[in-house]
Amino acid sequence: MRIAVLDDYQRRAREFADWDSLGPDSRVSFFHERIDPALLADKLEAFDVLVLMRERTPFPRAVLERLPRLALLVTTGMNNASVDVAYLRERGVVVSGTPFVLSDPSSGGLPIPVEVAWALIFALFKRVTVEDPAVRDGRWQLDMPGALAGATLGLAGLGFLGAAMVAPAKLFGMSVIAWSENLSGDRAAELDVQPVSKRELLGRSDVLSIHLRMSERTRGLFAERELAQMKSTAVLVNTSRGPIVDESALIEALAGGTIAAAGLDVFDEEPLPPRHPLLTLENAVLLPHFGYVSEFAFRAMYAAAVEAIAAFLDHAPIRVLA
């Protein structure tokens, strides 16, 4: 049984789970770099099991058809929009998921994506990525930092992650408004958040933070027209999925001063390609999709992946995706 573990960027998958427990007949290979999509089938055609980090490497039908030995695919999380699960089901390939861990339930702390969102907000308001290199270069206080107190946080989405943004915002003295297509007044009142229209969200937010699920309905939800309705002093933060914001329109808005800045943890293509236009913009703070990354989360997810493989080998698959 040959097992491939993909997208192990931090080279930690081997130590974070007991792969040896699968027995001597299971050989595990760890792939630390992104595989060129054109080479994906050639690289993986000899493997029986694939372990994927959710929505990192796409597996459309055209690739899966060229993996004749594939018997089990394990993805972190209980869904993976980057994999043609329907085709695998037709072919008789088992697709298992794992819990997608976003926080240590024993800590009482914030979910990881929310921590990342606030890291980006602080970096933008306090000019961290601009002033740090300036200080190192002998320059001092190039411009005024912003203040969170008195600013308005606009939340696109008030689900689990959007709701977790509210308490820190109020602690910093921010007003909080929110919009989503399905946001109810009761939900907003429960969290002491003012529900607004999409137009109001765009026009009033000093920080627009996106916490929506990726779907065809939300793809390109914030494009040129929406960005033009924002304050020129506003910043946009996206820790959800890159395509929810029209990337080309965002680049133009940042370059042209339509909005002041953006903090991004997600992109249309990940890893972000060399020479991408975002890399040239001083008013963009960029992180490498850290919103799902923590030692606690990875230990839990890789342990669950090993558990799913063991169950499959025992002819009793678990957490099978519908």
Catalytic residue among 56, 127, 241, 307: 241
Candidate list 270, 276, 299, 319, residue with the active-site label: 270
Q: How far apart are CA 96 and CA 154, in angstroms?
A: 36
181 is annotated as an active-site residue: no
289 included as an active-site residue? yes
Average pLDDT, the chain: 96
Fold equal for 2-102+294-313 and 112-286: yes
Per-residue pLDDT, averaged over 112-140, amounts to 97
- Selecting among 54, 56, 127, 289, the annotated active-site residue is 289
Active site residue 270: yes
| Residue 106 clears pLDDT 90, i.e. is over it | no
Average pLDDT over residues 191-196: 97
Query: What residue ranges do the domains of the chain occupy?
Result: 2-102+294-313, 112-286
How far from 233 is each of 45, 236, 237, 254, 257, CA to CA, in Å?
A: 51, 10, 13, 11, 9
Q: Which range among 47-61, 99-113, 202-216, 269-283 shows the weakest confidence by mean pLDDT?
A: 99-113
Residue 164 tokens read as: 């977790």
pLDDT for the residue 56:
86
Give the pLDDT score at 89: 95
| Threshold 0.85, pTM exceeds | yes
Q: How would you classify the pairing of strands 49-52 and 2-5?
A: parallel
The pLDDT tens digits of the residues spanning 141-186 come to 999 999 999 999 999 999 999 999 999 999 999 999 999 999 999 9
The residue ranking higher by pLDDT, 292 or 174, is 174
Confidence at residue 191, expressed as pLDDT on a 0 to 100 scale = 97
Which CATH class for the 112-286 domain? Answer: alpha beta
Write down the H helix ranges in the chain: 40-44, 61-64, 85-91, 112-125, 128-136, 160-164, 166-171, 185-190, 198-204, 224-228, 247-256, 295-313
How far apart CA 244 and CA 264 sit, in angstroms, is: 12
What is the dotted CATH code of the domain comprising 2-102+294-313? 3.40.50.720
pLDDT on residue 104? 77
DSSP strand pairing (152-156 vs 207-210): parallel
Task: Check residue 161 and give its pLDDT.
Answer: 96
